[in-house]
Structure 1
Amino acid sequence: MESSENTNLKFLKAFSELLETKSFEQITVSDLAKKAQLSRRAFYNHFNSKEGFLRESILIIFDDITKILNNDLLYEEVILKEMLSYMYTNKEIIKSFVCFFPNIDNIIKDYIKGMIIYSNIPDLHKQLETAYQVPYSFALDIYISTIESIILNWIDNDFTESPEKIAKYITSVVRI
């Protein structure tokens, strides 16, 4: 019996491959199952519908990333490399979601914001205000937007740079 994570990953990969040739509306559950080399029953054991799959898919990706980031809530460069390596390994899936998913910029920004706010970065409030010389809400937005911009640029450029290089860019540009 396959693990739930492995099954989800197969459906995610199948979905990203199908998006290269079909629109979301044209993709059927049968298409997904066939491409993933799994049964329709396997699909419905995990998801209620194609739309449910879409909603769950982004959560699956964020859940995997969160598991990595939760290993070091200070978000040191080592953990950033690990997270970026996950993205690089799954670049076809990540790229298709960034290109396809409505409002992905806002979803990513909200995700980063949540992760930063609930991190273990000491004196986050004070550090951001000191580093950017503006009130906290502005400084937090600058910090988050910088990280988001680097990651989305990397994705838009087909993951040309290594995860290590992108981690260096992030740690050298953000000010805390």
Structure 2
Amino acid sequence: MVAQSRKWLIESFITLLKEKPYESITVKDIAEEAQLSRRTFYRLFKDKTALLSYLGDQLIHDYLNQLQAIPKTNLNFEQVLTIFFNFWWSKRKLVRLLIHQNLFMNLLDQINPAAFRLYDFFDAPWHINGSRQEISCVMSFSVGGFWNVLNTWLSQDDQHAPSPETIAKTLSRALVKLQTGK
């Protein structure tokens, strides 16, 4: 019942985000839309910011699960990029809503801690054999760049947005050029 109530509250929150600004959405609004009590909301979330954070954690968790389900053998960097961009493309309606509400970039703080786990998952051109602090610095740099690409790319409507594969190829070419100078 807890999981179902969370699901209803998140769905209600998303519905309300389509109708009005985040700042004007109240816990009461979310609970009423979900047809649950405010007490149920507060049992599951501290406030609407905690609900948004939970939604972000779920998105990141779903992406990491999808990435980890793929065999590591023969997985090249362009394939990882394609998986990344295909995943976010599949979530584009929600991401666009978060972008429109100026909430998407806030999720960057949530993905940074999870990014360290990605470092050992595959080889990338920018990987270094360094300390945890050095690797954290590299991942913060790269995740920030990818998040900004997502923000810019998914702000476009479907008709104007390049395909996930096109974005992955473009970035892969650029990163190789950065690495090799050619």
Q: How many residues align?
A: 165
- How far off is 1:92 after superposition? 2.4
Whole-Å separation in 1 of the counterparts to 2:8 and 2:81 = 25
The answer as to whether partners of 2:112 and 2:140 remain within 8 angstroms in 1 is no
Q: Structure 1 length normalisation: TM-score?
A: 0.64
Pairing partner for 1:26 from 20, 24, 27: 24
| C-alpha RMSD over aligned residues | 4.0
CA–CA separation in structure 1 for the residues paired with 2:163 and 2:40: 35
1:131-146 aligned at under 5 Å gives the runs 143-146=142-145
Matched position secondary structure for 2:122: coil
Which ranges in structure 2 are unaligned for 5 or more consecutive residues?
Answer: none
Return 5+ residue gaps in structure 1 as ranges.
127-134
Contact 1:71 / 1:79 at 8 angstroms: preserved in 2? no
Greater alpha carbon shift after TM alignment, 59-68 vs 20-29: 20-29
AA aligned to 2:26 is T
Mapped partners of 1:108, 1:55: distance in 2: 8
Mapped to 1, the partners of 2:32 and 2:76 lie a distance apart of: 39
Give the secondary structure class of the aligned counterpart of 1:119.
Answer: coil
Amino acid across the alignment from 1:94: V
- CA deviation digits over 1:66-115, x for unaligned, max 9? 11122346564444434433322322222233443285375277257525
Deviation at 1:26, TM superposition (A): 2.0
CA contact (8 A) 2:104 2:151 kept: no
Q: 1:140 to 1:64 in 2, by over 3 A?
A: closer
Match of 1:121 in 2: 123
